[in-house]
Amino acid sequence: MKPLKILIIEDELVTAYDLRESLEQAGNEVTGIARNLSGALQLVRTNPPDLVLIDIHLDHSAEDGIGIAQQLLERHNMPIIYLTSHSEQHTIRRAQQTRPAAYLLKPFRHHELAIQIELAYLNYQATQDTAPDPYISESLYLPIKEGKGHMRVVKNEVLYIKASRAYMEVYLVTTSEMKLFTMPLGHVAQFFTSKNFYRVSQSILVNLNHVAQLEKGFFYVSGRKEGVAFAESQYQAFKKQLAIIQTPKNNNGTNGNDAFAPKI
């Protein structure tokens, strides 16, 4: 097999150099070592790798390895291998959403790592001539209610999706009519991997690019007068997904606008 171009994302430099030495001894080329998202994006742009080896816990990065993998996959389709000491089910489930080629636990054995990398890349290559990948595809074909086939849904045209028992209601930019599909939201949500989609709750997935207004317990999407209700307990978490500008306060602790209130 040809030598592989491998990007390492690891903020512990001793470990990163150890990995690079092991990979190069196995005949591969290390395109670079990144410690955070910006470094990884630059290395992918300048020298696209065949495969990425990522640690999940990164002390020198605002995003963890899974978050970085999600953003890299939006720009360049390639196999991901996680090399981490984290074996918690929550972490593994998050990692599964990026469809990694392998999930290896530290400490690793150099010989086994080389084998896993080769197998991961071969398996990845074998799937490239099959059907489009729903995780990275711009659109999905979803089963229509009452067995009438499948309908194409462009991901970025989705305003929001709401669970309705065994079905899901999909609201689109292109039509005022709600579309009903015979599939639970919990299964479909994993295919909306771009960062503009936010899971407000177990029953609501919203496209943040179309949120026109947010209130405690309600959000409004572009072109729709009706608000969508959600639990008030989710309000603060929802706010953090939006670039909200807070009203500045005066020295007396009141909002700046209060200075212009009429005196009584």
Same structural domain for residues 11 and 122? yes
Would 170 be classed as within a structural domain? Answer: yes
CATH number of the domain to which 196 belongs: 2.40.50.1020
The tokens describing 211, both together, are 């949120």
Per the confidence metrics, is the pTM higher than 0.85?
A: no
Would 254 be classed as within a structural domain? Answer: no
List of E strands, the chain: 5-9, 29-34, 51-54, 80-84, 102-105, 139-143, 150-154, 158-164, 167-172, 179-181, 197-201, 204-207, 211-215, 218-221, 228-229
What are 166-222's pLDDT values in tens digits? 789 999 999 999 999 998 888 888 888 788 999 999 999 999 999 999 999 999 999
Query: Of 94, 126, 158, which closes a domain?
Result: 126
Domains identified in the chain, total number = 2
Same structural domain for residues 168 and 76? no
Average pLDDT, the chain: 86
What are 11-62's pLDDT values in tens digits? 899 999 999 999 999 899 999 999 999 999 999 888 889 999 999 999 888 8
Same structural domain for residues 116 and 184? no
Same structural domain for residues 116 and 9? yes
| pLDDT, mean of residues 248-262 | 56
Would 260 be classed as within a structural domain? Answer: no
Same structural domain for residues 206 and 155? yes
Same structural domain for residues 157 and 229? yes
| CA atoms of 195 and 137, how far apart (whole Å) | 15
Would 111 be classed as within a structural domain? Answer: yes
Q: Which of 17-26, 122-131, 230-239 has the lowest mean pLDDT?
A: 122-131
Domain that holds residue 24: 5-126
Same structural domain for residues 50 and 82? yes
